[in-house]
Structure 1
Amino acid sequence: MNTQYKPSRILAAATAAALALSVVPAAAAEPIGDGVAPTYDEAYYATVDYYGNLTKGSMVKSYITNGVSTLTDYGQYDEIKNLTNDVEAVSRDGKTTFDFGSSVPSHFYFEGKTTAPFNQLPWTLTISYRLNGVPTRAEELCGRTGEVEINVDAIPNGSASEYARNNYTLEAMALFNQDDILSLEAPGAQVQLIGNLRAVLFLALPGEEQHFTIRVGAEDFSFDGMTFLMVPATLSQLSQIADLSGKADDLEDSYNKLNAGLDTLLGALDGMSGSLYATAEGLDELNSARDVISSGKGQVYDDLDGVIASLGDLETSLTPASGHITYARDTLSKAKGSLSDLDKTMLEVQGDLKDIKSLLSDLKGDFSDAQNLADDLKTDLNRLDRSISKLKTSLNSVGSMADTAIGQQVVELPTAGGTVKVTVAELQETLGSAAQLYQAYLQAQANPDVPFTGEFSEFITYYLAQKAMAEAAAAGQEITLEQAVAAVSGQSAQLYQLWTMRDEFEQEMASAGTLKSGLSQIASDTSDLLDKLQGFRSSYADDLLEAVLKHGENAANLGTTLADRAGALITEADELYRVLDEAEPRAQEALGDAAALLDAMTNSLSAMKTFAEDAQALLKQSGSLLDEGTRKTLEGLAATLRKAAGSVSSTRDIRSAKDSISDIIKDTWNEYRGETSNLLLMDADAEAVSMTSEQNPAPSSIQVLIRSQEIKEAEQEETEQEEKAANKGTFWSRLGRMFSDLWVGLTRIFR
C-alpha cells in the first residue's frame, strides 16, 4: 500500500474534516468535565484454615474523594458496609454507588465481603504439617513435643490476570518466640532476630513456584499461623527489568541472526575442510602422474623418433600425387565429350516417343469416352434404383398416410349452438373422453353409497363443473358451484350431443377402414414388382459394362506408362549431361587446388619434421629440471592444504561451544520469562488492575494479606456486652472490630 500523500491531499482531507465538524449540532457534543476524579487503594484481607482453605474474605477500598459527590465501584459482593458514614450503598448488577449529596467526606472507606478475588490470586497456597517426620493433622499439634515441620506449597494460578501473574510478589512470614522454641530451621528463608522474636521471611518472584519449609523444635508447640502478603512490585529500580524485558525481542532477534550467521560460517568451514583434503589428494595424484610421465619420458623420446621418421616417409609418398591429379583432370575432359554424344542421340529418339505417346493418348481418350457413357448409364440405373426405393417407401407409408388423411378430414356437426367443424382426430379424442365419462357415470349409478339417479347429460355437467372449480383453486381463485355450472353448460351440452351421434360416426370410420385396407393391398403388389426390377438391374447391367471396358483400358494404360518411362529416362540423361557440363569447370578447378594442397602439405610435413627434431632436443635438455621443479611445487602445496584442512577441522569444537552458549542463553532467558518465574515480564510502571472488576479505574495501590489459622489453646473471647459497649462512632473502631478475630495474633507479635 502506498503510504505517501501529496500536500494537496492532506490539505483536502483536513478541509473535509473541518467541514464535517462544522455541521455537527452543538447539543451532540459530550459535556467537558473538570478533570477531577477520586483515587483509591485496594486491600484484600482473607483468613484461611490450618491448610489454606478460605474461611473469610473482605475487600476494603479507601478513597480520597477530591470533592466528588458520587462514587461508583464495580464488583460482586456478598455484603457491603460503609465504614465512614451512614450513606447507604446502592448495588445492582455488579455496580455499587455511594451518593454523598452535599456532605462529601475527604476520605471514604467501605468493606465488601467477597470470596471471588481469592480464587483469582496469582498463587494457590497449601499448608501441611509433620511431627518428627510423620504427616500429622494440625489439630493434633498443639502442646506436642518434638520437631514440627511446616510445609507451604505456592503454586502459580493460571486463571489469574496477566497483570497479577507478571507483577505480584509473594512474601510468606512466620514469627516464633525464641524463649518458647528449642530449634528453628528455614532453608532458603531470611531469619531475623527482633528482640526475643525470630522472624522467618520467604520471597517468591512473579510466576515462580515455591515450596517453603520451616522446622521448629519445641517442648510445648504453638504457632501463630502463617502470614502471606501479595503486592505488585513497584520499586523504581524494577523499571530496569521492564526496560530489559522491553528490549527482549530485539535482543533475541539479534542473537538469532548472529547464531544463524555463525551456523552459515561454520557450515562453510566444514565444507572447506573436505574440499581442502580433496584438493591435497588431487595434488598427490598429479604428483603421481608426474612420476609416471617422468618415468615414461624415455619412451616418449623413442616414439618421437618414430614420428619424425613417419613424417619423412609421408613426405616421400605425397611427392608423386600431383602427377596423378593431372591424369584425373584429362580423364574428366574425355568423359564429358562421350556423354555429350550420348545426349544428342537420346534427344533425337525423344521425338519418336512423343508421337507414340500421342497415339496411345488418343486410344485412351476413346476408352475414356466409352467409360463416360458407361458411367452415365450407371448413373441412370442408380437414379432408377433410388426412384424404386422412394416409391417403395411411399407405398409402405400408404397406410399411415391414409390414417393421417382420415384423421385430418373435417366433419360438420350440428350442436346446440349451431354447426361446428371438427377434424376426425379431434372427434375421436372427444368421443374417447365421453366414453370415459360414461363409464364413470355407470359406476356412480352402481355404487350404493353414492347413488346418482340423474341423466348422463347432468352427470357430464356435474363432472365438468367440479373440474373447473379445481382448476380455479389451483390458480388461486375461488368460484361457486353455480358459477362453474354456468361456465361449462355449453361444453357439456356439445359433449352429450356428440355422444348421441357416436353410432353414425363409427359407421363412417368402418368405411374408411375398408378403403385403407384396399390401398395397402395395392401398395404391397406394386412393391413386389419393383423388387424384381431392382434385382434384374443388380444382376446383369453392372457386370456387362465392366466386362466391355476392362481389357481395353488396361492396354492403353500400359502403353502410356512405357512411353512415360522412356521419356523420363531421356530427360534424366539430358539432365545428367547438363549437370556434368556445369560441374566440369569446377571439378577441374578443384583438382588444381588439390594439387596445390598436396604441394603445400609436402612442404608442411618437411617443416613439422624439422620442428619435432628441435623439440626433441629441447625436451632432452630441460626435462630433468622441469620434472624436479614440478615435484617440489606439488608436494609443498599438498602439505600446505593439509595443514589448512587440519585447522578448519576445529570448527566442530567451535560449533559445540557455540551451541552450549546458545543453550545457556535460551535456558536462562526462558527460565525468567515464564518457565520458572516471570521476573523478566515484570513492569513496575504498568497500571494496576482492580481485583474486583476490570471496569474499575486503576487503583493507586493493591495488597493482599492472608493469615492462616493459629495452632494454640483457645483464648477467652469478648462477651457480647463488651462488644456492644465498644465505640461505634468512628471508622477505626469498626475496622478494628471487623478484623479483630483476623489479626489478633499479628497485633500480639510486637508486644
Structure 2
Amino acid sequence: MRQKNRKIMAAGMAAVTLCTSLVSTPVYAAEASVSVDESMYVNLDYYGSVDKVNVVKGVSLNGLTSFTDYGNYLDVTNMTNNTTPEIGDGKVIWNLPADTKGYFYYKGAIDKDTVTLPWTMDVSYKLNGVPTDAEKLAGASGLVEVHVTAKPNDAARDYDKNNMLLVVAMLVDMSKCYSVEAEGAQTQSLGSQTAIMYTALPGEDGDYTIRIGSDKFETSGVIMAMVPGTVKDLEHIVDLKDAKDTWKGAGDQLYDSMDQLAASLESMRSGVNELKQGLNEAENARGIISGSKDEILDSNDQALASLNALSEQLGTIIPYIQTAKDASEVAHGSLTDVVNTLGNMQEPLRKLDTSLRGLKSSSGSASVSVDDVVSAVQQIKKLDTQLQKSIVDFIKNLASSQASMEDAIADYYDVEAGDADEQALAEAAAGADTSAGHAGLLNAQELIGILKQKEKALRQVASSSNALVSDTSNMLDDVSNVARYLAQTTDQMDYLIEDTKALKDSLDVYYPDLQSALDDSKELVNRTTDALNNSTNSLTLVQNTVRASSDSLDAAAKDSIKGSLNVLNKSLNVLDSTSSMRKAGRTMKDTMDNEWSDLEDDTNFLNMDPSAEKVSFTSDENAEPNTLQIIMRTEEISVDDDAELLDAETEKAAVNPLQRMWNMLVQMWKAIVEIFKNR
C-alpha cells in the first residue's frame, strides 16, 4: 500500500509537471535574448531499443532575428519558414527575416549513439502467458501482456539522473478490448478510452505490466515521457533533504541516547531487585525491632540506672583520692625521717663494724692461747703417768735415804705442780717438813696415801682445766661467729642505708608527678561524673522521646517501606516495558533507516533540485533552456500497414511540430487531465 500510494503521488506530480512544461511562459532576462524549449523525441522499436532521435526546439525570439545553437546534428530542418541555417563546427547559426516574430521551430536529428537517456527501457510481450514476438501480436486474439522495465542509467548526466521524472502510459480503446489489467497503475476511463499511467521518481526502477484482453489486438505503442521536476511545490524537496539529513543525524543521536538510557534502565533491574530485597529485609528488621521495642526500652532504663549508679560511685571515690594524696604526703614525710635516722646510724654502725672485726681478731688470738693451755695440760697428764710409775718404783726402793725421798718429792712437786698449784705444793712441802720434823721419817703406807691424795688433786685440776679449756674454746668460737655475723650485718645495714637514700631520691623525683596524677585523677573523676550525669540526662531525654514516638516511627517506617516496595514493583514493571520500548525503538529506527535507505538507494528523489540549472540536450555551451522534455514511443502494433504512423518525425506537411506532437498525445493528455480533475 505504501509503494502504491507513493507511486500515485509521484504520478500526480509528474503529470502536473509535464502538463505545465508544455505551456510554460518564457523567462525574460534583463538583456534581450532568445529563450528555448527543448523536446527530445525518441522512436523505439517494439522492445524499447532506441531507433531514431530528434530534438525539436521552440525558440521565443523576443524581438531577435539572429541566434546561435550549439550541437552536432545529423540534419537540421526548418519547421517554420524556408530559412536555411549555417551549419558547421558544432553549431547552427540562424539569420531569420526581419519580419519573423513569435515562435520559431526547427528540428535536428542527432546520432542515437551519442544520446544517454536517464532510463533504459525494455519491453516484452506475452500472448496467453506465452512469450511472443511483437510482430505476431497484430490482430491477435486473447490476453496480451505488455511488460515494461525501466532501469536507471548511471551513465546519464547528473541533472537528468537527479531531476527527471518518468511517466509510462498506454491508451486502450475499450471498444476493441474486453478487459484491461494494470496492477499498481493509475487508470481512468473516459468514454471508450482507458488511460493507464505509471510513474517513477528520479533514479527509481520501474517494472510495469499491462494485460489487455482483445479479440483483435492493436496498440499505438507504449509512450514514455521524461520531464524535470520543476513544479513550484517540488522546491521543498531540497528543504526536505536538508531536514532529512538533520533529522537523521539528530534522530540517530536521540535514538542512541534513548537506547543507552533504556540500556541503563535495564541494567538497573538487578539493583532494583537488590533494593527491593533490602527493603524486604528492612521490613523484617523493622518487625523485629518493633517486637523488641519494649525490651530495648526496658534495657535502656536499666542502662541509665547503671550509669546513674556509676556516676554516684565515682562521686564517692573523690574523697578517697584526696585521702590517698594526703597519705602519700605523710608517707613521704615519714620516709624522709627514716632516711635521716638511718643516716645518723650509719657512722655508729661503721665503728661497730671496726670493733667487731677487732674482737674477731682477738678471739682468734685467744683461741691460740687456749690451744697452748690444752697442750700443757696434756703434758701434765703425761708427766703424772710417769710420776705414778716412779712412785711405784720409789716405794719399792723405800729403803733409800730420807734425803733422797725428800728430794724426789720436792722434784715431783716442782715438776708436776708448777705454776698450776704452787700453794698446794708449798703446803705439802711444809707438811713433809713438819712430818719429817715431827716424825723424822714417814713410813711407806703414809707416803702412798699422801701421793694418792696428790694424784686425786691433780686429776681434779686436770679435769677442771679440760672443762675450762673446752668452754673457753666454745666461747671463743661463738664470739668469732658473732663478730663475723655482726660484721656482715653492719655491711648489709650500710647497703640498706644507701639503697634507702636512693629510694628516697627516686621518690623525691616522682613525688610531684604522683601528686599531679592524683590531682588529675580527681579532676578526671569529677569530669567523668559530670559527663555521665549529662549523658544520663541526654539519654534519658532520648529514651523518653523514643518511648513517646516509637509507635509513630514504627508506623512511618512501615508505611515508607510499603510505599517504597510499591514504587519498586512499579519500577520493575517499567523496566519490563523498557526492553519492549528498546525493541520498538530499534524497529522504528530500522524502519525509518530502511525507508530512507530505500528511497535513497532506489531513487534519486531527495537529490531533486527544481532550482538546478537545466542543461541543453545538444550542448553544454547552450544557454539554459526554458523547458525540457523527452518523449519516447515504441513502434505501434497494427493490422493495417498503411495506417497513419503516430511518431514524432512523420506528420502531414501542413501541420506544425507542436500540433503534430499534440495530435499524437492529445487523447492521452485529455485522459490524464481528466483523471486529476475528477479526483
TM over 0.5: yes
Q: Secondary structure at the match of 1:130?
A: strand
Are 2:166 and 2:227, in contact at CA under 8 Å, matched by a contact in 1? yes
Are 1:311 and 1:606, in contact at CA under 8 Å, matched by a contact in 2? yes
Select 2:635's aligned residue among 696, 706, 709: 709
- Which residue of structure 2 lines up, in the alignment, with residue 211 of structure 1? 207
Select 1:597's aligned residue among 514, 520, 525: 520
Deviation at 1:87, TM superposition (A): 3.1
Select 2:51's aligned residue among 52, 55, 58: 55
- Which residue of structure 2 lines up, in the alignment, with residue 135 of structure 1? 131
Are 2:300 and 2:543, in contact at CA under 8 Å, matched by a contact in 1? no
Deviation at 1:187, TM superposition (A): 1.8
- Which residue of structure 1 lines up, in the alignment, with residue 87 of structure 2? 90
Is 1:184 equivalent to 2:180 in the alignment? yes
Tell which structure's C-alpha radius of gyration is larger. 2
Deviation at 1:185, TM superposition (A): 1.4
Residue 527 of structure 2 aligns with an amino acid whose one-letter code is S
Distance of 1:592 and 1:199 partners within structure 2: 127
- Which residue of structure 1 lines up, in the alignment, with residue 147 of structure 2? 151
Q: Secondary structure at the match of 2:57?
A: strand
How far does the alpha carbon of each residue in 1:608-640 deviate from its partner, in whole angstroms, 9 at most, with x for none? 554566567667655555443333222211222
Question: May I ask how many residue pairs the two structures share in their alignment?
Answer: 456
Are 1:78 and 1:114, in contact at CA under 8 Å, matched by a contact in 2? yes
Deviation at 1:43, TM superposition (A): 0.8
Are 2:170 and 2:197, in contact at CA under 8 Å, matched by a contact in 1? yes
**CA 1:748–1:657 in structure 2 vs 1: closer, same or farther (change >3 Å)?**
closer
Report which stretch shifted further, 696-705 or 72-81: 72-81
Are 1:283 and 1:635, in contact at CA under 8 Å, matched by a contact in 2? no
- Which residue of structure 1 lines up, in the alignment, with residue 344 of structure 2? none
Equivalent positions of 1:539-554 (< 5 A) are none
- Which residue of structure 1 lines up, in the alignment, with residue 170 of structure 2? 174
Residue 634 of structure 1 aligns with an amino acid whose one-letter code is A
Distance of 2:512 and 2:594 partners within structure 1: 92
Distance of 2:321 and 2:612 partners within structure 1: 111
- Which residue of structure 1 lines up, in the alignment, with residue 117 of structure 2? 121
- Which residue of structure 1 lines up, in the alignment, with residue 622 of structure 2? 696
Deviation at 1:169, TM superposition (A): 2.1
Q: Secondary structure at the match of 1:605?
A: helix
Residue 89 of structure 1 aligns with an amino acid whose one-letter code is E
Q: Secondary structure at the match of 1:191?
A: strand
Equivalent positions of 1:98-497 (< 5 A) are 98-100=93-95, 105-106=100-101, 107-115=103-111, 120-241=116-237, 243-245=239-241, 247-249=243-245, 251-252=247-248, 279=275, 281-290=277-286, 295=292, 297=296, 319-320=320-321, 323=325
Deviation at 1:173, TM superposition (A): 1.9
**CA 1:181–1:329 in structure 2 vs 1: closer, same or farther (change >3 Å)?**
farther
- Which residue of structure 2 lines up, in the alignment, with residue 641 of structure 1? 564
Residue 33 of structure 2 aligns with an amino acid whose one-letter code is A
**CA 1:743–1:225 in structure 2 vs 1: closer, same or farther (change >3 Å)?**
farther
**CA 1:293–1:330 in structure 2 vs 1: closer, same or farther (change >3 Å)?**
farther
Deviation at 1:315, TM superposition (A): 7.0
Q: Secondary structure at the match of 1:221?
A: coil
Are 2:60 and 2:104, in contact at CA under 8 Å, matched by a contact in 1? yes
How far does the alpha carbon of each residue in 1:293-314 deviate from its partner, in whole angstroms, 9 at most, with x for none? 5637266666666666667777
Q: Secondary structure at the match of 1:182?
A: strand
Distance of 1:116 and 1:642 partners within structure 2: 81
Distance of 1:203 and 1:639 partners within structure 2: 65
Q: Secondary structure at the match of 2:638?
A: coil
Residue 702 of structure 1 aligns with an amino acid whose one-letter code is L
Distance of 2:586 and 2:317 partners within structure 1: 79
**CA 1:654–1:585 in structure 2 vs 1: closer, same or farther (change >3 Å)?**
farther
Are 2:325 and 2:515, in contact at CA under 8 Å, matched by a contact in 1? no
How far does the alpha carbon of each residue in 1:65-94 deviate from its partner, in whole angstroms, 9 at most, with x for none? 3344553334444444454544343332xx
Counting aligned pairs with the same residue, the percent is 28
Select 1:687's aligned residue among 613, 621, 642: 613
- Which residue of structure 1 lines up, in the alignment, with residue 35 of structure 2? 39
Are 1:172 and 1:229, in contact at CA under 8 Å, matched by a contact in 2? yes
Distance of 1:328 and 1:251 partners within structure 2: 101
Are 2:304 and 2:540, in contact at CA under 8 Å, matched by a contact in 1? no
Residue 136 of structure 2 aligns with an amino acid whose one-letter code is E
Q: Secondary structure at the match of 1:629?
A: helix
Give the structure-1-normalised TM-score.
0.50
Are 1:277 and 1:642, in contact at CA under 8 Å, matched by a contact in 2? no
**CA 1:746–1:629 in structure 2 vs 1: closer, same or farther (change >3 Å)?**
closer
Q: Secondary structure at the match of 1:184?
A: strand
Deviation at 1:693, TM superposition (A): 3.3
Are 1:308 and 1:612, in contact at CA under 8 Å, matched by a contact in 2? no
Are 1:48 and 1:706, in contact at CA under 8 Å, matched by a contact in 2? yes
How far does the alpha carbon of each residue in 1:246-286 deviate from its partner, in whole angstroms, 9 at most, with x for none? 54445556656665675677677667777666555444444
Deviation at 1:150, TM superposition (A): 0.8
Unpaired segments ≥5 residues, structure 2: 1-28, 337-504, 671-679
**CA 1:90–1:592 in structure 2 vs 1: closer, same or farther (change >3 Å)?**
farther
Deviation at 1:58, TM superposition (A): 1.7
Residue 90 of structure 1 aligns with an amino acid whose one-letter code is I
Give the structure-2-normalised TM-score.
0.55
Report which stretch shifted further, 648-657 or 697-706: 648-657
Distance of 2:168 and 2:224 partners within structure 1: 5
